[in-house]
């Protein structure tokens, strides 16, 4: 049985290699046109004209010997392309390092393949590194480019792309799109525990953020078991933070013992996301805001706003100090929400203007970020204001809009 398994593995690998040897056409065509060579001139002494034509249209798996001869004629060095065997080895390592959150080891792979622009597996590897290091702005162009060439990926490469892309969408707060992607992935004998474990973890994060808590809970147990078994402490800590957030979302807010040590191992984005939500929901947010990463960012401004709102009726000096800092930072950060204006509206207790600002700006940002918890919290305040003015019908309308928003997120795509 073991011998049969090994033979099957080798056969699968060979099929993958053949698949990617068919995908050098784009690079060959580009370089041939740069050198102003015809297909006939390129083929001379190597192969037939028809062979070059089929190669450029990804209709034939180029033999390794012919590939190197073609590249040599095009003056493409081995520094500009890699054989599929090498790329697949790098991809396998990349998945492992992504799973372990080993940024240093992944960076070494990234540096080796960064210059390869026309090999799709290299682009998938780059995407994973940029997502892992939270460089979402740079990841966006690769993510969008790869969608044009999905047919150039085999099942294994496609699954890796979908996993990395799902994490990308989580990073930019597009949980509905991440859900569509993970629901589309069907692993069939890919022989990668890392991929299977990451998919289970993705489902926990995505379903939890979409407030499908019962569905998410099964994947928490799977992920905790897998990460514990592999001594993946970084992912275990992430998992605990997500679990604590989802408990809060479902109405069961609890404190985590030894929180500071856990927070120190998180990425800046994960850390800030957790602290801001906890602070927003806390009667005394100071503990959480004190641990917030102090950077010139919207997250930091939001944290200052939460603290200023807390001190509004408690300490005039503290409030004015925070308000001044918020005003200064506003012009540097240029956030989507003018927190200074929001504070002024609260000071004056002009409820109807406050209601309008919450609807037109705060609620919109929460919806754009697909943050169901904040959508519900902001809607609750809007409803409360409307009810004080006896506008019960309008209040009901906003409650229904919030419910429909959640429903839409879970059914779109």
> Residue 303 has what pLDDT?
96
The SS3 call for residue 252 is coil
Distance from C-alpha of 376 to C-alpha of 356, rounded to nearest angstrom: 16
Q: What is the pLDDT of residues 209-246, one digit of tens each?
A: 999 999 999 999 999 999 999 999 999 999 999 999 99
H or E element in which residue 73 lies: helix 64-73
Query: Residue 252 corresponds to which tokens in the numbers above?
Result: 């069961």
> Residue 191 has what pLDDT?
65
Cβ contact 129:96 at 8 Å: no
Distance from C-alpha of 340 to C-alpha of 329, rounded to nearest angstrom: 10
Give me the CATH code for the 18-73 domain, please: 1.10.260.40
| Closest listed residue to residue 301, CA positions, set 287, 289, 314, 286 | 289
Tell me how far apart the 2 most distant CA atoms of the chain are, in Å. Answer: 87
Distance from C-alpha of 375 to C-alpha of 359, rounded to nearest angstrom: 10
Sign of the C-alpha dihedral, residues 292, 296, 297, 298?
positive
Residues of the chain whose pLDDT is less than 70? 1-23, 61, 78-81, 117-118, 187-191, 412-413
Sketch the domain layout of the chain as residue ranges: 18-73, 82-185, 192-255, 267-349, 350-413
Cβ contact 87:20 at 8 Å: yes
> Residue 308 has what pLDDT?
96
> Residue 353 has what pLDDT?
95
Cβ contact 185:199 at 8 Å: yes
Would you call 103 exposed, middle or buried from its count of C-beta atoms within 10 A (0-12, 13-18, 19+)?
A: middle
Query: Residue 304 corresponds to which tokens in the numbers above?
Result: 């200052």
> Residue 122 has what pLDDT?
87
> Residue 22 has what pLDDT?
54
Distance from C-alpha of 274 to C-alpha of 269, rounded to nearest angstrom: 9
Superfamily of 82-185 according to CATH: Tetratricopeptide repeat domain (1.25.40.10)
Distance from C-alpha of 76 to C-alpha of 338, rounded to nearest angstrom: 53
* Alpha helices (H) along 185-285: 193-209, 213-229, 233-249, 259-263, 268-280
> Residue 23 has what pLDDT?
60
> Residue 111 has what pLDDT?
94
Sign of the C-alpha dihedral, residues 291, 293, 295, 301?
negative
> Residue 361 has what pLDDT?
96
Phi-psi region of 138 (alpha: psi -120 to 50; beta: other; left: phi over 0): alpha
Distance from C-alpha of 217 to C-alpha of 109, rounded to nearest angstrom: 35
Cβ contact 26:118 at 8 Å: yes
Distance from C-alpha of 225 to C-alpha of 239, rounded to nearest angstrom: 11
Exposure string of 389-412, with b = 16+ CB inside 10 Å and e = fewer, is eeeeebbeebbeebeebbeebeee
Cβ contact 128:91 at 8 Å: no
| Closest listed residue to residue 307, CA positions, set 294, 328, 326 | 326
> Residue 346 has what pLDDT?
95
Sign of the C-alpha dihedral, residues 204, 206, 209, 215?
negative
Query: Residue 243 corresponds to which tokens in the numbers above?
Result: 């679990």
Question: pTM for the whole thing?
Answer: 0.85
Exposure string of 319-335, with b = 16+ CB inside 10 Å and e = fewer, is beebbeebeebbeebeb
| Closest listed residue to residue 92, CA positions, set 182, 37, 157 | 157
Distance from C-alpha of 129 to C-alpha of 107, rounded to nearest angstrom: 7
Distance from C-alpha of 33 to C-alpha of 52, rounded to nearest angstrom: 13
């Amino acid at each position: 049985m073991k011998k049969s398994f090994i033979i099957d593995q080798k056969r699968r690998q060979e099929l993958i290699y053949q698949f990617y040897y068919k995908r050098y056409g784009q690079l060959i065509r580009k370089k041939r046109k740069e050198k102003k060579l015809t297909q006939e001139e390129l083929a001379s002494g190597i192969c037939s004209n028809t062979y070059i034509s089929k190669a450029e249209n990804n209709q034939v798996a180029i033999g390794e010997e012919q590939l190197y001869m073609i590249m040599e004629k095009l003056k493409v060095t081995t520094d500009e392309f890699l054989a599929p065997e090498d790329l697949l080895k790098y991809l396998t390592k990349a998945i492992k390092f992504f799973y372990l959150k080993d940024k240093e080891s992944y960076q070494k792979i990234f540096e080796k393949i960064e210059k390869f622009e026309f090999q799709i597996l290299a682009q998938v590897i780059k995407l994973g590194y940029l997502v892992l290091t939270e460089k979402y702005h740079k990841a966006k162009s690769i993510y969008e480019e790869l969608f044009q060439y999905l047919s150039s990926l085999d099942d294994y490469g496609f699954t890796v792309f979908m996993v990395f892309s799902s994490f990308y969408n989580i990073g930019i707060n597009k949980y509905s799109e991440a859900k569509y992607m993970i629901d589309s992935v069907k692993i069939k004998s890919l022989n990668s525990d890392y991929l299977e474990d990451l998919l289970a973890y993705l489902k926990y994060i995505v379903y939890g953020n979409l407030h499908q808590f019962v569905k998410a809970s099964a994947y928490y147990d799977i992920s905790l078991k897998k990460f514990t078994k592999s001594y993946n402490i970084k992912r275990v800590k992430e998992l605990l933070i997500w679990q604590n957030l989802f408990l809060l979302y479902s109405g069961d807010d609890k404190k985590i013992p030894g929180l500071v040590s856990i927070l120190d191992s998180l990425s800046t984005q994960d850390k800030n996301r957790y602290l801001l939500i906890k602070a927003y929901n806390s009667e005394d947010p100071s503990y959480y805001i004190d641990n917030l990463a102090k950077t010139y960012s919207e997250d930091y401004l939001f944290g200052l706003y939460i603290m200023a709102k807390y001190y509004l009726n408690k300490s005039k000096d503290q409030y004015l100090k925070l308000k001044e800092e918020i005003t200064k930072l506003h012009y540097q950060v240029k956030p989507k929400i003018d927190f200074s204006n929001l504070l002024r509206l609260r000071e004056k207790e002009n409820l109807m203007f406050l209601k309008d600002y919450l609807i037109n700006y705060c609620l919109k940002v929460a919806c754009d970020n697909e943050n169901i918890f904040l959508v519900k919290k902001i809607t609750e305040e809007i409803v409360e204001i409307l009810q004080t003015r006896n506008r019960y019908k309008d209040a009901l309308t906003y409650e229904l809009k919030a419910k429909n928003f959640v429903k839409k997120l879970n059914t779109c795509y």
